[in-house]
A and B are shown apart, each in its own frame.
Chain A
Amino acid sequence: MKDVEKKPLQESERFASEVPRRDLLGLAAFWSFIGTGVVMVAGALRLPMPSVFPETGSKFRIGKPDRYAVGSSTRISDRNVLVLRDGGGFRALSLVCTHLGCISQREESGAFVCPCHGSRFDATGKVVEGPAPSPLRYLEVSRMPSGDLVVDRDRPVPPDRRLAV
C-alpha cells in the first residue's frame, strides 16, 4: 500500500481523486442504468408467465345420470377420469398419476398402475407402492339444470363425497 502512495499520481488518477465520491449525478446515472436493466429483465420475464390458461375451462359434461348403471365404473377416455356410480351416487376418480402426471391404467383386479414409474393404487385410489406422493384424486361431480352431470378437473373432493341422484 505504502509503495503505491509514494509513486506520483498518474493524470487519470489525480483526476479521479479530485472528483467527490458521492457524485450525485454519477450515482443517479449508475442506478438508473441498473434500474433500467432490472425493469427490462423483469418485464421480459413477465411476458411468458401466463395469466390466462388456454384450456377450455376446467369443467366438462359427462352426460345424463341414466347413462351410468348403478355399480358401474366408466372411463371417459379423452378426459382421463373414471366415473363411478354406486348406491350412494356419483363420484369421479382422476386417473392422472399424482407422481408425475402419466395416466394410470386399471388392471383386471381393479387396482391402478402407472406405466411411467410403477406407482400402484388400490381400487379406491390409495397408494400401495411406488413413488406417487398422494392418492389418486376424486373430482367434484355436480349437476346442471339441464340434468347433465359435470366434473370439475380443478376441484378435488374427499373420496367419500358422492352426488346423490
Chain B
Amino acid sequence: MSALGDIGRNLRLLPSTLRGSIVRHGAVGSDRARSQAVFSNFFLHVHATRVHKHSLRPSTTWGLGVVALILFGILCVTGTLLMVYYKPSVADAYDSVKDLAFVVPTGRMMRNVHRWAAHGMVAVVLLHMARVFYTGSYAGPRAFNWVLGMVLLVLTLGLSFTGYLLPWDQLAYWAITIGANIAQSPREITDALGVTGTFDPGGMTRDLLLGASTVGQEALIRFYVLHVVVLPVALSVICAVHIWRIRKDGGINRPVDIDLELGPDVRGGRAIFPEGSGKTYGLMALVEGRTAAVDRGPEHTVPSWPHLFQAQMLLLVLTTLAMLALGYFFDAPLKEIANPAIPENPAKAPWYFLGLQELVSYSAFAGGIFIPTIVVIGLMLIPYLDRETDGAGRWFAGRRGKRVALSSALFSALFVSGLLWFTVEAGWLRNWVPDIPQLVITVFNPGTVLVVAFAAWSLGTVHRTGSTRMGAIALFTCFLIAFAIMTYFATYLRGPNWGFYWSASDWPELH
C-alpha cells in the first residue's frame, strides 16, 4: 500500500529527480553555483572554472583555435549529411554529387558549406599556428602541445586532400593523380641511383594509397575511408588531447608579469565567492596551472561562466553565419566528370597546395616530399631548439621581435619574388644545360635554394641578436611570406601548361 503510494510520490517528483540525475549541480544563480556547474558538467569541464582576463582579450588568440574547432564541428555535421547520398563508386560518385547539387533538398547548401568550411579550416588552422608562434606560446610546458598542433595541421591537410577526390570530377582526378605521383616521387632518387628494382619506397606508398597503379575505384574507396573515418577520428582524438593539455599547461599562455601590468585587482582581497560558502572548494579546482597561484589569489581572473562562454558562443554564431552566407552566395565548384585522357589545363590543386605545386614544378621529389618534410619536422622542433622564455606570451616577444619579423618579411618577399622572376625570365638548369642529370636538379633548384637562403638568414639572425627566439621568428616569417607569395603566384600568374601570364585574359585559346 505504502509502496504504491511511493510510486505516486516519485512520479510527482519525477521532473526534479530526473534533472538531479542528469546534472549534478543546483540552480546556477550565483558565481559559485556556476563554477560548480562548470566543474561537474562533462561538457563544460574542459574549461577551467575561472579564466584570466588576459586570455579573454581578442588580441591574445583572436579566437582562432576555437573557430578551427567550430569549423571542424560544422564539417562533421554537413559531412555526415552528405554521406546520406554520396556513393563512393567510380560509376556513381559524380552523379551522386550532381544529385546533391541539383535534386536533394538543401543538398547544394550543405555541399557548399562543407566545401567552404573545409577551406576555412585550413586557413584558420594556419593562422592559429601563426598566432601561437608569434606569441611565443610554444615554449616551456607547451612544447608538446605545439607538436600535437603540428599533427593536427597535417591531419587537417590530409582531410582536405582526401576529400578533394570524392566528387570524381576533372579537378579531383588530376589533383589526386599528381598527389599520388608525388608520393611515388622518391623514385626520382632511387631511379637516379639505379636501385628502384630492390628498394622502392615511392612505389610502395603509391600502392598503399591507390591500391592500384592509377587512380581508380580502389583509390576512391581508400580515400573515402580515410576521409570519413580514419582521419576525422584521429583528428577528434588528438584535438581532445590538445585542448585538455591547454588546461594542464596552465591555460592560455600569458606574460609572466601580466598581473603587475594590469595593476591591483579591483576586487581587492575579497574572497572568490563572496556569496557565502556552501561547500569547501579546493583551490586546485579553480586555478589551473603549474604556477598554481600559491599565496596569490586568483587575481585578474573572471568566472568562465559567463565570460568565456559568451565569447565562445559569439564565435560559434559568427562562424556559422559566415559559413551560411558563403554557402548561400557561392557554389562549390564541380567540373566535368573525370577524364583519364585529358588533364584540366591548367590543372591546379586547391589554394593551400598551390605553393607546393609551384615547388613541384621545379622538382617532384624536392618540392613534393623533401621540402614539406623538413618544414614539418623543422616546425615540430621549434620549441626544442628555441627554449627562451623572455617575452613569452607577448606578440613578437616585444619590439626587437617585431623588427626581426619585419626585416625577415622584407627579405623573404624580395628574395622569393626575385627568384620567381629569375626562373620565369631565365629558366633553370635544364634550359641552359639540356643534358644535365636529374639528380643535380633535384638537389639544386629554386625550392632548395629558398630553403638554404632562409636557413642562412635565420642563423645569421641568431648570430646577430644572440637569441634563438629571434632566429625562430626570422625563419618562421621567411617561410610564411614565401608560402603567401608562392600561393599568390601559382593562383593568379600561372596559366595553361603552367606558363607565366600576368592575367587570365592573356591565356591563349586552347583547342
Contacts and interface: CB of A to CB of B under 8 A. Distances in A.
Contact of A131 (B212, B342, B363, B434): B363
Given A101-B180, A102-B174, A129 B499 contact: no
B347 interface: yes
A115 B344 contact: yes
A133 B366 CA distance: 12
B468 interface: no
Nearest to B431: A129
B403 to A, nearest CB: 38
A100 B497 contact: no
Interface stretch (B248-256, B354-362, B477-485): B354-362
Given A78-B341, A115-B346, 20 more contacts: A48-B211, A53-B212, A54-B218, A55-B213, A55-B216, A80-B341, A99-B181, A100-B182, A100-B360, A101-B180, A101-B214, A102-B174, A102-B178, A113-B497, A115-B345, A115-B496, A116-B347, A129-B430, A133-B438, A134-B438
A133 B188 contact: yes
Interface string A82-113: 00000000000000000111110100000001
Contacts of B212: 50, 53-55
Contact of A130 (B208, B430, B442): B430
Contacts of A129: 427, 430-431
B208 A49 contact: yes
A164 interface: no
B364 interface: yes
Interface residues of A, number: 28
B191 A133 contact: yes
A131 B360 contact: yes
B364 A100 contact: yes
Interface in B414-469: 427, 430-431, 434, 438, 441-442
A80 B214 CA distance: 13
B497 A115 contact: yes
Interface in A131-158: 131, 133-134
B498 A115 contact: yes
A113 B364 CA distance: 17
Contact of B347 (A48, A53, A115, A128): A115
Interface in B157-183: 174, 177-178, 180-182
Q: Which 10 A-B pairs have the closest CB atoms?
A: A118-B498, A115-B345, A117-B361, A100-B181, A133-B438, A101-B181, A102-B343, A100-B178, A117-B498, A116-B347
A53 B213 contact: yes
Nearest to B211: A50
Contacts of A50: 207, 211-212, 218
A116 B498 contact: yes
Given A115-B345, A127-B430, A54 B216 contact: yes
Contact of B361 (A53, A80, A101, A130): A130
Nearest to A118: B498
Contacts of A130: 361, 430, 498
A114 B343 CA distance: 9
A127 B441 CA distance: 13
A10 interface: no
Contacts of B427: 129
Interface string B212-240: 11101110001000000000000000000
A77 interface: yes
Nearest to B222: A48
Nearest to B496: A115
B207 A131 contact: no
A113 B222 CA distance: 31
Nearest to B343: A102
B340 interface: yes
B343 A116 contact: yes
Contacts of B178: 100-102, 116
B218 A103 contact: no
Nearest to B185: A100
B347 A118 contact: no
Contacts of A80: 340-341
A48 B208 CA distance: 6
Nearest to A51: B207
B364 A99 contact: yes
A93 to B, nearest CB: 15
Contacts of B185: 100
A131 B368 CA distance: 12
B347 A133 contact: no
15 contacts: A50-B207, A50-B212, A100-B360, A102-B178, A115-B345, A115-B498, A116-B343, A117-B360, A118-B498, A130-B361, A131-B360, A131-B361, A131-B363, A133-B364, A133-B441
Nearest to B360: A117
A100 B207 contact: no
Residue in A99, A103, A118, A131 with the greatest tally of chain B CB atoms within 10 Å: A131
B293 to A, nearest CB: 28
Given A48-B222, A53-B213, A134-B191, A103 B342 contact: yes
B434 A128 contact: yes
Nearest to B204: A49
B506 to A, nearest CB: 16
Contacts of B213: 53, 55
A48 B207 CA distance: 9
Interface in A46-66: 48-50, 53-55
Nearest to A58: B213
A144 to B, nearest CB: 23
Contacts of B222: 48
